[in-house]
Amino acid sequence: MTDRSANEAVSDTSTRDGNPVTKHTVVVPNSVDMVSVLGPADEFLGIIESHFDADVHVRGNRITLHGAPSEIALVERLLEELVQIIRTGQGVSGETVERVIGMLRAETTERPADVLSLNILSNRGRSIRPKTLNQKRYVDAIDKHTITFGIGPAGTGKTYLAVAKAVQALQSKQVSRIILSRPAVEAGERLGYLPGTLTEKIDPYLRPLYDALHDMMDPEVIPKLMAAGTIEVAPLAFLRGRSLNDSFIILDEAQNTTPEQMKMFLTRLGFGSKIVVTGDITQTDLPNGQKSGLRVVEGILDEVEDISFNRLTSHDVVRHRLVGRIVAAYDEYDARDLTVADKRAEGPDKRAERRPDRRAEKRADQ
């Protein structure tokens, strides 16, 4: 386990059907509650047994593992990581156990405990942390770069974590204001029909940004900061012609920008500022035929220093676990659909080129 002086580990290697089998006993430190490690009603133990080809037996604070050496080594590392997370004062859930297992299977250099223990922001007894390896890399990229892109499906935390980093930067006085923006694409047709002032008409398109702010700051403080201009939530069009200094600027739903709008936004960058651009290129609401600024920007800026592009996937979805499966299923469907479309686009002449000429082969044989 993590603290070898406080643990006892006994190994015994033999063979079964010609394959090596290891018996390994680990003792969890007395300072760690076994219910925290194994879960209520042994929930975490059941997850471990379902994910590894190993027998796990628990007696008191002694955990005996029996199985293939590679699997036993992974289970022991999992237990080490869980103990380390528990020692930081965090609660462990079944989701936490599954995320640690996923990281260990991915054979990354980062320790799962370090990923899941990174505290970005705390408010009203609640801490905001990355929950996946890609989220941790995304957060690190925001720290290291002036402009960061977070590209991925819904539920991967790309906007939520960006807002958390913005609030952190404001509270630590790294910036003097936060600017949150979104393109109001649908408003182009319907804005005039909505009741109220221009601000009231635009608010529904910006509501997800307000929701994230309310999770991270005391609700009574937000109106005061907005009245003072310390926090500004505005449609993308409102940023035209401005130079934004000493600011943390977030553009959300960037897949709904045109290339011209994306260029306009990125060139608003002023001195002492950071920009985070988030979006999902599979969810574009632009009229047919219009290119997405988010789709083309990586090909334009991927070689530019101090700009980072970060991809999140269905594995990084942190909503209900079914959301991740839905996203993965749609990705698979889209890939299959594109393959069919490509073949149709080739036309009969192109397909004929790829087919072998059986008559020519027959003549050659004769």
* Whole-prediction pTM: 0.76
Q: How far apart are CA 52 and CA 22, in angstroms?
A: 14
Query: CA-based angle 264:267:270, to the nearest 5?
Result: 140
Q: How far apart are CA 357 and CA 25, in angstroms?
A: 65
Tell me how many helices (H) and strands (E) the chain has: 14, 12
Close Cβ partners of 2 (under 8 Å, ≥ 6 residues apart): 80, 83, 84, 87
Tens place of pLDDT per residue across the chain (366 aa): 544 433 445 555 555 555 677 888 988 999 999 999 999 999 999 999 999 988 999 999 999 999 989 999 999 999 999 999 999 888 889 989 999 998 998 877 889 999 988 889 887 667 898 999 999 999 999 999 999 999 999 889 999 999 999 999 999 999 999 999 988 765 444 445 555 555 665 667 678 888 889 889 988 999 999 999 999 988 898 899 999 999 999 999 999 999 999 999 999 999 999 999 999 998 888 887 789 999 999 999 999 999 999 999 988 887 666 776 787 788 788 777 766 555 555 555 554 554 445 444 444 444
Structural domains in the chain, CATH included, are 4-116 (3.30.1370.10), 132-319 (3.40.50.300), 328-365 (no CATH)
Q: Comparing C-alpha atoms, which of 109, 34, 19, 5 is closest to residue 72?
A: 19
